[in-house]
């Protein structure tokens, strides 16, 4: 792919208030330290697999800060992917829960030890279960967005995936389904473009200049941004989200990001040289603006590292799930989303399954 044709918003982004910039930074730092701890845990044998989003924190934190968090149609629905932990932190998730999922403990609130690190599920915040198959979230997103279009209000659907995943048919599905004439949906489609699919450079597989150009064919407002600049990422997201909230129409945002530790633990999870580091960039800004000194920044990092190390030591002592629990939740016995009662009492859904009974 040729060098990114990145459109700056309006020249330089409008500076964020100091308070917002400081908050962005602190969350980005937590996100980075968390990913580094997760990588360390995996390498030390306290987890089977690591995948995450170090290098995307500027964008992902900004996204999490701007989400209308909550349960139900009035709030935003999130169809995220496995590089989204910083978004969840910015929404208020406890970083220790990410450690629990890495260690696959019974206390892991996202999956009870069933799923990989970075595969969250938080119904009380409309965060749909994150799954490993690439791009399937783009087929589901039109469903929540359709329900929100009917409902009205300012809640939107946010769906996020990587650049390589846009080759899957699900990406085209989303473009089609959110832009049906007279049925345009309030859906923010996000492609975080790190220019790789595992080991394969996008430039060797994709002929399109910008992924965001694909939105134009459907009349979807689209943009490619430099998401290594936290301030720009925040401003662009603010603008895109406001458009989707207000106009109840889709927006395709391609965010150019770095991938600082490669694809996952399967490719070594070692620091990659030559990529822009959004955390270094924001710290430069903070120093330039006199908001933080180098010594303060170093102290913050040291403190967070120490806290998460201590947390990891606690987490590895937490219990693992018991084998017989595999039989739990094969079927739902009630609708946990709407809490609707089942109107018949002779129903398979209301009865314990015989194989479940045997297991207990």
Partner 1 sequence: MATQVQAVRMALHVGETRHGVTDIFGEDVGPPLGGVFTATQGLRTAWNSPLDERGVIGAAMGLALAGQRPVCEIQFGDYAFNTIDLLKLAGAMHWSSNGDWSLPMVMMTPVGSGIHGSIYHSHSFDAQATRIPGWKVVMPSTPYDTYGLLLSAIVDPNPVMVLLPKALMRVKARPGELIPGEPDDERVLSKMIDAPLGDRTLWRPEWPETPDVFIPFGKLKRLREGRDVTVVTYGRMVAICERVAANVAEEGIELEVIDLRSLIPYDWDGLVESVSRTRRLLLINEDTEVTNFGEHLARRVTDELFGVLLAPPRVLAGKNLPGIGLSDELEKASVPQPDDIERAVRELAATSFDRGRGPSPRARPAAPTALAPSDMDHREAFARAYAVR
Residue placing its CB nearer to partner 1 in the complex, 169 or 268: 169
Q: In angstroms, give the least distance from the CB of 110 to partner 1.
A: 7
Residue placing its CB nearer to partner 1 in the complex, 324 or 351: 351
Q: Are 266 and 49 in contact (CB under 8 A)?
A: yes
**Adjacent-strand bridge partners of 157:** 77, 187
Q: In angstroms, give the least distance from the CB of 99 to partner 1.
A: 17
Q: In angstroms, give the least distance from the CB of 345 to partner 1.
A: 9
Q: In angstroms, give the least distance from the CB of 341 to partner 1.
A: 9
Reading the block at residue 138, the tokens are 């783009």
Report which of 114, 149, 40, 180 is spatially closest to residue 322, judged by C-alpha positions. 114
Phi, psi of 15 (to 5 degrees): -60, 145
Q: In angstroms, give the least distance from the CB of 91 to partner 1.
A: 16
Q: In angstroms, give the least distance from the CB of 181 to partner 1.
A: 11
Q: Are 104 and 184 in contact (CB under 8 A)?
A: no
Residue placing its CB nearer to partner 1 in the complex, 119 or 259: 119
> Footprint of partner 1 on this chain (CB under 8 A)?
72-73, 77, 79, 108, 110-112, 114-115, 119, 121-123, 128-129, 131, 133, 136, 138-148, 157, 169-170, 173, 176-177, 180, 328-338, 340, 342-344, 346-349, 351, 353-354
CA distances from 268 to 26, 41, 47 (A): 27, 13, 14
Residue placing its CB nearer to partner 1 in the complex, 98 or 140: 140
Q: In angstroms, give the least distance from the CB of 95 to partner 1.
A: 19
Q: Measure the N-to-C terminal CA separation of the chain; round to a whole number of Å.
A: 56
Cα 232 to chain centroid, rounded: 18
Residue with tokens 């969840």: 88
- CA dist., res. 185 & res. 79, Å (int): 15
- CA dist., res. 235 & res. 62, Å (int): 9
What SS3 state is found at 165? helix
CB atoms within 10 A of CB 264: 20
Residue placing its CB nearer to partner 1 in the complex, 6 or 147: 147
Kind plus residue range of the DSSP H or E element containing 63: helix 57-66
- CA dist., res. 146 & res. 133, Å (int): 23
Residue placing its CB nearer to partner 1 in the complex, 289 or 352: 352
**β-sheet with 77-79: strand ranges across:** 77-79, 157-162, 187-193, 251-256, 221-226
Q: In angstroms, give the least distance from the CB of 263 to partner 1.
A: 20
Reading the block at residue 225, the tokens are 């941004």
Residue placing its CB nearer to partner 1 in the complex, 28 or 128: 128
Residue placing its CB nearer to partner 1 in the complex, 9 or 72: 72
């Amino acid at each position: 792919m040729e060098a990114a044709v990145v459109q700056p918003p309006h020249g330089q982004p409008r500076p964020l208030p100091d308070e917002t910039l400081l908050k962005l930074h602190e969350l980005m730092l937590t996100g980075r330290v968390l990913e580094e701890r997760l990588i360390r845990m995996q390498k030390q044998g306290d987890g089977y697999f690591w995948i995450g989003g170090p290098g995307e924190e500027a964008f992902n934190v900004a996204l999490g800060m701007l989400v209308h968090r909550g349960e139900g149609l009035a709030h935003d629905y999130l169809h995220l992917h496995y590089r989204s932990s910083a978004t969840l932190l910015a929404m208020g998730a406890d970083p220790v829960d990410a450690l629990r999922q890495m260690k696959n403990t019974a206390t892991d609130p996202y999956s009870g030890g069933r799923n990989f690190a970075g595969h969250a599920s938080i119904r009380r915040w409309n965060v749909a279960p994150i799954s490993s198959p690439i791009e399937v979230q783009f087929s589901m997103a039109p469903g929540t967005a359709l329900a929100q279009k009917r409902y009205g209000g300012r809640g939107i659907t946010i769906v996020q995936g990587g650049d390589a995943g846009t080759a899957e048919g699900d990406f085209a599905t989303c473009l089609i389904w959110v832009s049906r004439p007279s049925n345009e949906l309030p859906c923010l489609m996000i492609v975080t473009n790190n220019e790789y699919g595992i080991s394969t450079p996008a430039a060797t597989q994709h002929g399109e200049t910008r992924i965001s150009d694909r939105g134009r064919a459907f009349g979807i407002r689209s943009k490619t941004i430099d998401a290594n600049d936290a301030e720009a990422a925040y401003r662009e997201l603010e603008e895109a989200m406001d458009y989707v909230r207000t106009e109840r129409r889709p927006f395709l945002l391609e965010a150019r990001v770095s991938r600082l530790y490669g694809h996952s633990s399967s490719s070594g999870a070692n620091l990659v040289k030559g990529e822009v580091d959004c955390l270094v960039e924001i710290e430069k800004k903070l120093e330039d603006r006199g908001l933080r000194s180098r010594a303060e920044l170093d102290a913050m990092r040291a403190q967070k590292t120490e806290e998460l190390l201590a947390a990891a030591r606690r987490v590895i002592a937490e219990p693992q799930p018991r084998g017989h629990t595999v039989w739990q939740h094969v079927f739902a016995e009630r609708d946990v989303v709407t809490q609707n009662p089942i109107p018949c009492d002779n129903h398979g859904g209301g009865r314990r399954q015989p194989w479940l009974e045997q297991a207990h």
